[in-house]
Amino acid sequence: MKKYKVGMIGLGTVGTGVFKTIQEFEDIEIVKIVVKNINKKRDIENFDSTLMTTDPNEVINNPEIDIVVEVIGGVEPAWEYISKSIENGKHIVTANKELLAKKGEELFKLAEKNNKVVLYEAAIAGGIPLIMPMKTIMAGNKISKIRGILNGTTNYILTKMDVDGASYDEVLKEAQELGYAETDPTGDVEGFDAMYKITTLSTIAFNKRVKLQNVYREGITKVRAEDMKKANELGYKIKLIASGNLDENGKADVRVHPMLVKKTSALAHIDYVTNSVYLKGFPMGEVAFTGPGAGEFPTASSVVGDIINIVAELKHSDYILPMMRNNYEEYADMIDISETYNKYYISITAPNNIGVIGKIGNVCAERNISLSTILQKGLSEDNTADITIITELCKEADIQSAIKELSECKIDSIIRVEE
């Protein structure tokens, strides 16, 4: 039996999972693994440590390697290793969402030029089968809407804040201790990770390249325990939602920010580190995919799935997988966040002047902002009023202008509300 040779770059959590899983496949062999530290103890039984090297050239320039698996993340040196590997005739499997979002266009052009394939099922929603289904069996669809919970760390934090009534800072600390959040959590909690993923996901869905700089991003660091509580009282949960819409004129609106989602919606029930992606398309209608967004084995499932699909094709032809092209002829025409229409949850601390509700009402009315909910709680000790409003659909720019005009009020939170 011919063995197809795999070289790995990285042997962290995901890499270890890939290594263990691939042992089951008689026709696939890992021949070399690039690591930073050759002396680090690896959690693999009977591990042949001579497979490891600190020299990337032993993979990149290794003529016997058919497929390079990159699981180190980040743009550099991953880009250097991947691009050289492609030029050296290797197919690529990567879990690198940041690289895809920042260098996707260049990457896929290079791959096509070299008649090689770059697969990345593991880069978005970890263990959930999503990219390959979108590119194969769903390929007859025009997808117009994406809603996803794509980052397990932030979903864990928001779920714990909700369940325990705890503050963001408390839960973050706990999540760090449990290993669900990194020491520097910025990439997750400020929404960068989800932004990278929705950039690539919306590019595939809309069949036009979405540029990272046009994707709006807000993280979860400003979400307060009080907002969680109020949202609950009003029938909502707060989730970090990655979304994409393609309107009838072909304009795309792609973003990541916290949202109030109705408790009756499916995404409201996606808790802790679970990920979920909802897609609306024609002719398929509405479908949802739910599962583990990260973890050693779920992510390995996707990486190995990509590898065995490449191997299956290589067995009969040197051609790239027919449906796996990622070169889009056009860039998506994007809508700026200021031009979008949303519903808003706004929590306001107002001075106890007679007429403050009236002023809020007037400021909104002047901008055609209708309010669907107004809640005022009894005065606090400092003689201020705690006012919560939820608006009907209105323009982002109008909301920003209204808030500017309410200068005597303290705006504690503004969070968009899913329709």
**Which residue numbers are catalytic?**
197
Tell which one of 5, 42, 226, 297 touches its own copies (CB under 8 A). 297
In the complex, the smallest distance separating the C-beta of residue 95 from its own copies, rounded to whole angstroms, is 13
Question: What mask, x for binding its own copies by CB under 8 A, covers residues 244 to 283?
Answer: ----------------------x--x-----------xxx
- CA torsion sign for 138, 139, 144, 148 is positive
**Preceding omega of 351 cis (within 30 degrees of 0):** no
> Closest separation between CB of residue 171 and its own copies, Å?
22
Taking the CA of residue 354 as centre, how many other CA atoms within 13 Å lie in the half-sphere pointing to its CB?
A: 0
Q: Near its own copies by CB under 8 A, which window of 2-10, 62-70, 285-293, 328-336?
A: 285-293
| From 131, 150, 205, 350, residue interacting with its own copies (rule: CB under 8 A) | 131
Helix H or strand E segment including 396: helix 396-405
User: Does 111 help bind its own copies (rule: CB under 8 A)?
Assistant: no
Q: Single out the residue of 101, 132, 146, 194 in contact with its own copies (rule: CB under 8 A).
A: 132
CB 348 within 8 A of CB 411: yes
Coil/strand/helix, residue 185: coil
93, burial (CB in 10 Å: exposed 0-12, middle 13-18, buried 19+): buried
Instruction: Indicate whether 137 belongs to the interface with its own copies (CB under 8 A).
Output: yes
Choose among 239, 227, 266, 237: nearest CA to 348. Answer: 227
How far is residue 121's CA from residue 176's CA, in Å, rounded to a whole number? 27
The reply to whether 329 sits near its own copies by the rule CB under 8 A is: no
Write out the binding residues for its own copies, residues 21-60 only, by CB under 8 A: 21, 24-25
Phi and psi torsions of 131, nearest 5°? -65, -50
In the complex, least distance from residue 174 CB atom to its own copies, rounded to whole angstroms: 23
Return residues touching its own copies (CB under 8 A): 17, 20-21, 24-25, 121, 127-129, 131-133, 136-141, 266, 269, 281-292, 295-298, 300-302, 304-309, 312-313, 315-317, 319, 322-323
